[in-house]
Amino acid sequence: MSSRTFYHEILTDHNLHPAHKHDLKEASHVLEGVNPSCGDAIWLKLVLEEGRIRDGAFVGDGCAISQASADMMLDLVIGKTREEADRLADVFLRMIQGEASEEEMEQLQEASVLREVSHMPARVKCAVLGWHTLKEILNKAR
């Protein structure tokens, strides 16, 4: 299976069956992330307890890439410490810029398929929306 086919299958699955797109009333931290260039907007909601992301969700509207990326991000960071989640976000952002190593990208698991976006400059802001919002929440939580 080609990497492009795998990319499309994962994007489609996360858009049709997002695991984390729902309200999270017990969220301790909530932040809106907006991509003004295309109108994508999410509200990222996290339950941070004892330095760990215990739960997370998002609500909002946007293109397939922004929504799938946010869902994959939450798959990856729920259960992680703030530091681990921040480091994974850094790896993701460097991957999109074409600067992450293969070993680093392996840490991103399924989210690593979004490296294809680095070849589509108009879609980069879509892919990083949730990740930038996560970093902002984590910075404010310190």
pLDDT single digits (tens) 27-74? 999 999 999 888 999 999 999 999 999 999 999 999 999 999 999 999
Alpha carbons 13 and 34: distance in angstroms, whole number: 23
Is pTM beyond 0.75 here? yes
Q: Quick one: which of 14, 86, 22 has its CA closest to 48?
A: 86
What is the per-residue pLDDT for 97?
Answer: 94
> Are the C-beta atoms of 66 and 129 separated by less than 8 Å?
yes
Alpha carbons 111 and 11: distance in angstroms, whole number: 10
